Chain A
C-alpha cells in the first residue's frame, strides 16, 4: 500500500517536471514571440531563489536578517565582473580602467556564480560573528545597515578599477536559453530544501522554536545560526548574480532596502517556514506585478466597458487608476496578509501531492465541524432559554 502511494507520487512528480520542461521548450522554440512570458518566468525563478534563501534564515532558523539585498549586490557585481567579455572591458571601464589583476579573467557563468556564493558565504561568516549574537530587532537593523554599507562600498569611486563605481557593470552576456536559468534556480532551491530536511535543518528549526531548549539538547546555538546565515547569504549571492545576468547589468541602485522588502513580501505571502510557499509567493508576486499593470494606466470608462463611448459617463476618467496604484494595492495586500492571514498561502507546511489531494476532504471536515458547532450552540441557547423561563415561572 505504502509503496504504491510512493510510486504514484513519483509518477506525479515526473509528470509535473515533464510538463514544465515541455512548456519551457515550447517557449524556447520561439523566443521572439514568447519573450514576455520568458522574462516573467526567469525573473520569478530568480526571486524564488532569493525568497527561499531568505526563508531559510527567517522562517526556518527564526533569525530576522534583512541583509538579502546586500548579498545580492555582492553576487551581482562578482558575477558581472567575471562574465563580461574581455574585449568590451576597456570600453565599459573607460573612466577608471579595469584593474590588471582581473582584466583578463573571464569565467563561465556557473563558475562566476559559484565564486559569488563563496565570497558571500565568507563575508556572511565574518559579519555573522558579531551580528548573530544580537536579538531579533537589533539583528534586523544591523543586517539592513550591512546592506547599505555594501551599497556604499560598491558605489565608491576608490574601488572604481574593480566595480566601475556608480556606473556599474553592464553588457553582461545573457542566459543561453531559458533552461539554463530555470535549471540553476531549481538546483539552488533543491540544495536548500535538502539541507532543511537534513539533521542540520532540524537543528535550525529547534533553534527557531526554542533556543534555550535547543542549547540544552546539545545544539551549538551560534554555530547553527552561523551555518544557516552563511548558506542563506551564499544563495542570496547566487540569486543576485542571476539577477545581474537577467538584467544584463549590475548597479547599486537596484539593491536598495526596497528589494529586501519586496522579497520579504514574497516570503510572508507564501508562508514563513515553507520552501514551496516561497516559490509560490515569488511567482505570484512577480506575475501579478505584471498582470496588474493596468492599474498603473489612466483610463476613461468607455475603455473598460464597451458601449459607453459617446455618453458623458463614458468619457469620464476612471477614479484611482493612475501611476503607482499597483504598488499601493500590493502594500495593502501585504498588510492584509500580515494582519488577518498570517500563515500565508501554505502556512509553515510544505505543499505536497497528499496535501493537494486532501484539500476537498479538509474543507468538507471544516464545514461539518462548523455545522456541528452551530447546532451545539443552538442547543445550548435553547437550554438556557428554557432555564430562564423556569426561573421566571417560579
Chain B
C-alpha cells in the first residue's frame, strides 16, 4: 500500500465521516431531549436527497440548497408534530414503534413517489471540482465535508452553551418537568431541536450523496442506523462526541472497504457498537447515567 493510496482513503474516510457526523448530531440532540431513537432521521436524510434532485431541475444550485434545507426542516417538524407529540406521555416502546412506523412510511412513500430505481444525484460543478496533488485526486466536496462539519459543530456548540435557546435545550434534556415549571415552552424547544437536526441532516445529505451519485428509497435506513451508532459511540446527548463518533464510523467503514472486506463494511459499525457498549456503555464522552426508580 502506497502512501498516496493511504492518504486518498483517509480523505475519503474523513469526508464520509463528516457527513455521518452531521446526521449523528440530529440523533444525539433528539435523544438528549426526548430519550428516543428517531428512527425516521435516516429517512429524512434520504428524502433530502430526493428534494435536491427535484429542486435542481428547476433552480440553480445556490437556490436549491436553501430549498432542500427548508423542505427537510418542514418534513422533520411535521413528523414531530404528527407522530411524536401525541405520544409525549406514552410508554417509551410506543414512541419507538411510532418512529419505526414513520421510517417505514417514508421509505414506502419514496418508493411510491420516486420509484425504487436509483436516481442519479445532481453533480454540482462547484462541489465536484477535482484537485490533483501528484497521485492523489480529490474532489472539492471531499475536502469541504470535514471542514464544514467542524465549523457547523463549533457554531452549534456555541449556540447550545451561549444562547438562551441553548440554555433552554440543556434544561429540557436535564429535567423536562422542572424546565416547564421554570417557564420554558418545552414543545417549542423540541421543535427547535428538530429544526436544527433536520437542517444538519440536509447538509449532510448533500455532502453524502454528491460523493455517492445515486439516491434510492432505502439509501437512508442503513446510514441512519450507523449514525445512531456514531452518536452512541460519542456518548449520547453529547454533540462533539457525536461528531467524533461520526468520523470514527466513517473512517472505519472506508478502511474496511479498502482492506477488501466490503461485505463487512456495514456490519463492522455494529461490532464497534457492541464493543463500546461492553467497555464503556455511556460512550466516549458521555456522562455516566444513573438509574432512577
Contacts and interface: CB of A to CB of B under 8 A. Distances in A.
Nearest to B270: A145
30 contacts: A64-B93, A134-B281, A137-B31, A137-B35, A137-B92, A140-B96, A141-B225, A141-B232, A142-B274, A145-B225, A145-B229, A145-B267, A145-B274, A148-B266, A148-B267, A149-B271, A156-B264, A258-B107, A261-B100, A261-B103, A328-B108, A328-B109, A328-B112, A334-B105, A338-B87, A338-B97, A338-B101, A339-B82, A339-B83, A342-B90
B112 A58 contact: no
A324 B270 contact: no
Range, interface on chain A: 35 or more
Interface string B83-116: 1001100101110111011111101110110011
Nearest to B90: A342
Interface string A246-269: 000000000001100100110010
B55 to A, nearest CB: 22
Contacts, number: 122
| Majority secondary structure of chain A interface residues (helix, strand, loop or mixed) | helix
Contacts of B222: 148, 257
B281 A152 contact: no
A15 interface: no
Nearest to B111: A324
Interface string B203-242: 0000000000000001001100100110010000000000
A258 B225 CA distance: 13
Interface of B: 31, 35-37, 82-83, 86-87, 90, 92-94, 96-98, 100-105, 107-109, 111-112, 115-116, 218, 221-222, 225, 228-229, 232, 263-264, 266-267, 269-271, 273-274, 277-278, 281, 293
Given A145-B229, A156-B264, A130 B111 contact: no
Contact of A141 (B112, B228, B293): B228
Contact of B277 (A138, A152, A328): A138
A328 B102 CA distance: 11
Contact of B97 (A137, A264, A325): A264
Given A145-B225, A152-B264, A155-B263, A264 B100 contact: yes
Contact of A257 (B92, B96, B221): B221
A148 B263 CA distance: 11
Contact of B112 (A156, A258, A272, A323): A323
A325 B108 CA distance: 8
A153 B96 CA distance: 28
Given A145-B229, A325-B112, A157 B105 contact: no
A327 B281 contact: no
B263 A157 contact: yes
A51 B197 CA distance: 34
A152 B263 contact: yes
Residue with the highest number of chain A CB atoms closer than 10 Å, among B90, B104, B111, B271: B104
A144 B99 CA distance: 15
Nearest 10 CB-CB pairings of A with B: A145-B270, A324-B112, A152-B267, A331-B105, A327-B108, A149-B267, A334-B101, A324-B111, A331-B104, A338-B98
B270 A149 contact: yes
A137 B112 CA distance: 30
A173 B180 CA distance: 63
